[in-house]
Chains A and B, each alone.
Chain A
Amino acid sequence: MAYEIVMPQLTDTMEVGKIVRWLKKEGDYVEVNEPIVEIESDKAIMEVPSLRAGYLTKILAEEGEEIPVGSVIAVISESKEEKLDEKLEEKQKPQEKEETQKELVLPQEEIKVEVKQLPPATASPAAKVLAKENGIDIKTLQEEGKLPIPAHEKDVKSYLINEKFQEDAINFLKDYQLNPEDVAKTFSEKEKITIEDVKNFVTINNIPLKKSITSIRKSLIKNLKTSLEIPVFHIFTELDFSNIPKESGFTITTWFIKILGDCIYQYEKLRTRTDEEFYYVYPTANISVAVDVSGELFAPVIKSIEKKSLTEISQELENIKQKAKEGRFSREDLEGATFSVSNLGMYNVTMFDAIIPPNCAGIVAVGKIVNNVAKLTFSFDHRILNGREGAEFINLLQSKFKDDDYIKSLMG
């Protein structure tokens, strides 16, 4: 049989005790009432005797440790080798338990309010002062049901605001987070302030409309800032698409992703990430494609392009479009790219520059195709590759686009 020794409560106020010194060590035999440990309470240091005879088989609290009252600090067994049962092992983390117990539990149910039956004219001193200053009679308004009984300052304030402003004007001010009282001061007291008046007020004072930034946008901003720390260089070039068969059934984007992916698979620097301690070379060609989903920028990733056929990539691009429509990208969809593509060709953009997303070795910005030729801007992470290597990669890409045998092989 094993017996637990718990931290005793030595004083009324004691919640934790500090183990000052163990007077016995593991394996020692202990008599009943023999001092076993010195414990410092909030009031003094005291010797604590054992309540049982037996072998001290396990000490669970080190000297100097502070242990909550009631937690197990040692185990005494009848025989020297007796094993601890599992329950005791579980009790070895007393402090965590204690903390969860201390959490404050507030009443969950709605707190009931007693409705006071009071006569009209009942109002707080603050409400009365405000009413007097503005020349309104609380009693009359309460009788007309325009103010509650009792009336508080905020009731009078909102009455005054409703008197001064038309309803849509108040809502407009709310959108701009303006305090109606402050705005009212700038108007003459004669007529009700309309939405036109407050719109005018906003224009004259050049007050901006404060819009909250979505969490997606915030993480984009954070990523862009991180990207700015990447030392980057650009290479401007042209790419000739004339060898891509017109009647293949695949879009130019599909072709471009596939051929770019194959090049990246051949060129390990563009499958590389760095934390400035090491280079991490990834085994497959994963490319992220920038898509705009109702104003939010996403970069879903097409993975293992070297293994995929044009059909498969085309299907994946369709999936991306579908997911973008639904606005449902999983975390997995957005992870794992080492290179990125941004295409604004459809917006009649000749050429542009894109920012490298974090964890990518580079990005290519694709402009519109004129006479089978598109202008490309490559941005590369200079920590991973140099200008010559960037140029080498681009030459590889250009040569693939001219390689008829290779293009035919892709057609299957």
Chain B
Amino acid sequence: MLYREALNLALDEMMEKDETVVVLGEDVGFYGGNYRVTEGLYAKYGERRVIDTPIAENSIVGTAIGMALGGLRPVAEIMTANFAMLAMDQIVNSMSKLRYMSGGKLLLPMVVRMPQGVVKQLASQHSQSLESMFACVPGIRVFTASDCITAYHGLKTAIMLDDPVIFLEHTLLYFEKFEFSKDSFYNPFKARVLKEGKDLTIFSYLKMVHDVMKVVTQIENTLNISVEVIDVGPLNPLDLETLTNSVKKTKRFVIVEENPKHGGFGANILSAVLEETFYNLDAPPLRIAGEDTPIPYNRKLELLAIPTPEKIYSKIVKWGKENGL
């Protein structure tokens, strides 16, 4: 199943089950969504529940907040995370605060979905990874979806929650096929161990999970070790239990993230895990992240600005050899 189809199925099932679930955003209705995530919903549920909005991101989130306060369960789509910057006032000053400032009396059952990340020559303003911006705001939950299982089950849970959720997707994953099962047990508040190992843990999320998995066997063969791969999953709250337990076992960890290294979300993972595991560690942790630059338009420069499977491989091998592996 395609990643976008898994998201579509989650929306469809939730709308079918609960008529307070509504979808709103730019081109989500008649056009079926810029990446076809809401395809077919307009025909099935009509314009009152699948709402085409003006190009006004702050209003989209503001409207969703109003809907949620009024008893609906809105799922707002922001076309890309880059455009969510226009909605930051509603996200940071309203969405994240209402539950807290009402002493828990107000429920805010809403989801703001958005894709992010480098696609292919969409240039600086359409290629950013902005998870740190959302994950640093207390009061909102930040989920990531790296495949069909996390997309489907994660989005359904996000819709069911009474807390506001930022639901991060990756643009390049929409048209990827992944294994899918409705029954698979998945808890969006937990990190997932994708592959067990005993000598090194690699943390990543969204598309980087797949770039890591592409080279993990070669890393194992070159360094003659066994590697554990973990999809970090929720960025706020972090599932520290799973992350630290793995590092206590392997004593080494690497974080692979697409966003720029400076201020990148991996720094949060690193400090949180390091605080718990310092005396267990056998090597300094390694972060493989994007360069501290706007994403270039030129394809070669664009690939130089973010981690690729080749870079992940060589950086981990080099780091491993320098640090006793």
What residues make up the interface of A, taking CB atoms closer than 8 Å to B?
12-13, 15, 42-44, 104-107, 111-114, 116, 124-127, 129, 148, 150-155
Contacts and interface: CB of A to CB of B under 8 A. Distances in A.
A14 to B, nearest CB: 8
Q: SS class of chain A's interface: helix, strand, loop or mixed?
A: loop
A111 B321 contact: yes
Interface in B189-242: 214-215, 218
Interface stretch (B54-62, B94-102, B256-264, B312-320): B312-320
B186 interface: no
B160 interface: no
A111 B314 contact: yes
A120 B277 CA distance: 24
A385 to B, nearest CB: 52
Nearest to A150: B324
B20 interface: no
Given A107-B314, A124-B281, A125-B278, A13 B321 contact: no
Interface in B64-93: none
A156 to B, nearest CB: 10
Given A43-B34, A43-B35, A107-B314, A13 B171 contact: yes
A152 B282 contact: yes
Contact of B279 (A106, A125, A152): A125
B172, B174, B322 — which one has the most chain A CB atoms within 10 A of its CB? B322
Interface in B260-309: 278-283, 309
11 contacts: A12-B122, A13-B171, A107-B310, A111-B314, A111-B317, A113-B322, A124-B281, A125-B280, A126-B280, A126-B281, A154-B282
A296 to B, nearest CB: 30
A357 to B, nearest CB: 38
Contacts of A112: 318
B310 A106 contact: yes
A155 to B, nearest CB: 7
Contact of A13 (B120, B215, B324): B120
A112 B278 CA distance: 28
A113, A126, A129, A153 — which one has the most chain B CB atoms within 10 A of its CB? A126
Given A125-B282, A126-B280, A127-B282, A152 B323 contact: yes
A105 B218 CA distance: 11
Task: List 8 A-B pairs, minimum CB-CB distance, nearest first.
Answer: A152-B324, A126-B282, A124-B282, A113-B321, A153-B282, A42-B175, A125-B279, A111-B318
A15, A114, A148, A153 — which one has the most chain B CB atoms within 10 A of its CB? A153
B141 interface: no
A13 B175 CA distance: 9
A114 B120 contact: no
B322 A116 contact: yes
Contacts of B53: none
A379 to B, nearest CB: 47
B121, B214, B282, B324 — which one has the most chain A CB atoms within 10 A of its CB? B282
A124 B324 contact: yes
B36 interface: yes
B43 interface: no
Nearest to A14: B175
B133 interface: no
Contact of B214 (A13, A104, A124): A104
A42 B324 contact: no
B1 interface: no
B279 A42 contact: no
A151 B42 CA distance: 63
Nearest to B36: A43
A106 B280 CA distance: 32
Contact of A155 (B34, B281, B314, B324): B324
A97 to B, nearest CB: 19
Contacts of A124: 281-283, 323-324
A148 B318 CA distance: 18
A124 B253 CA distance: 13
Contacts of B31: 44
Contacts of B136: none
Given A112-B318, A124-B283, A126-B251, 18 more contacts: A12-B119, A12-B121, A13-B119, A42-B36, A42-B174, A44-B31, A104-B214, A104-B310, A106-B314, A107-B313, A111-B317, A111-B321, A113-B321, A124-B324, A125-B282, A129-B279, A152-B323, A154-B324
B4 to A, nearest CB: 8
Contacts of B32: 44
B87 to A, nearest CB: 23
Contacts of B321: 111, 113
